[in-house]
Chain A
Amino acid sequence: EVQLVESGGGLVQPGRSLKLSCVASGFTFSNYGMNWIRQAPGKGLEWVAYISSGSSYIYYAETVKGRFTISRDNAKNTLYLQMTSLRSEDTALYYCARGRGMGYWGQGVMVTVSS
Chain B
Amino acid sequence: DVVLTQTPPTLSATIGQSVSISCRSSQSLLHSNGNTYLNWLLQRPGQPPQLLIYLVSRLESGVPNRFSGSGSGTDFTLKISGVEAEDLGVYYCVQSTHAPYTFGAGTKLELK
CB distance from B25 to the nearest CB of A (A): 15
Flag the segment in B14-22, B78-86, B92-100 that touches A: B92-100
The one of A35, A45, A101, A108 that contacts B54, using a Cβ cutoff of 8 Å:
A101
**Closest B residue by C-beta to A64:** B100
**Closest A residue by C-beta to B60:** A103
**Closest B residue by C-beta to A103:** B51
Q: Could you tell me how many residues of chain B have their Cβ less than 8 Å away from some Cβ of chain A?
A: 24
Asked whether, in the complex, the Cβ of B50 is within 8 Å of the Cβ of A105, the reply is yes
Asked whether, in the complex, the Cβ of B48 is within 8 Å of the Cβ of A101, the reply is no
B37 — which chain A residues lie within 8 A by C-beta?
A: 100-101
A108 — which chain B residues lie within 8 A by C-beta?
A: 48
Q: Within the assembled complex, what's the spacing in Å between the Cα atoms of A15 and B106?
A: 31
Q: Annotate A18-53 by CB proximity to B: 1 below 8 A, 0 otherwise.
A: 000000000000000001000000001111001000
The one of A59, A97, A101, A103 that contacts B100, using a Cβ cutoff of 8 Å:
A59
Asked whether, in the complex, the Cβ of B51 is within 8 Å of the Cβ of A44, the reply is no
The one of B48, B50, B100 that contacts A106, using a Cβ cutoff of 8 Å:
B48
Asked whether, in the complex, the Cβ of A50 is within 8 Å of the Cβ of B99, the reply is yes
Max chain B Cβ within 10 angstroms of own Cβ: one of A62, A102, A107: A102
B50 — which chain A residues lie within 8 A by C-beta?
A: 105
Q: Annotate B23-67 by CB proximity to A: 1 below 8 A, 0 otherwise.
A: 000000000000001010101000011110011000010000000
Asked whether, in the complex, the Cβ of B100 is within 8 Å of the Cβ of A61, the reply is yes
A68 at the interface (CB under 8 A from B): no
Q: Within the assembled complex, what's the spacing in Å between the Cα atoms of A105 and B43?
A: 11
The one of A47, A50, A62, A107 that contacts B48, using a Cβ cutoff of 8 Å:
A107
Q: Within the assembled complex, what's the spacing in Å between the Cα atoms of A49 and B43?
A: 20
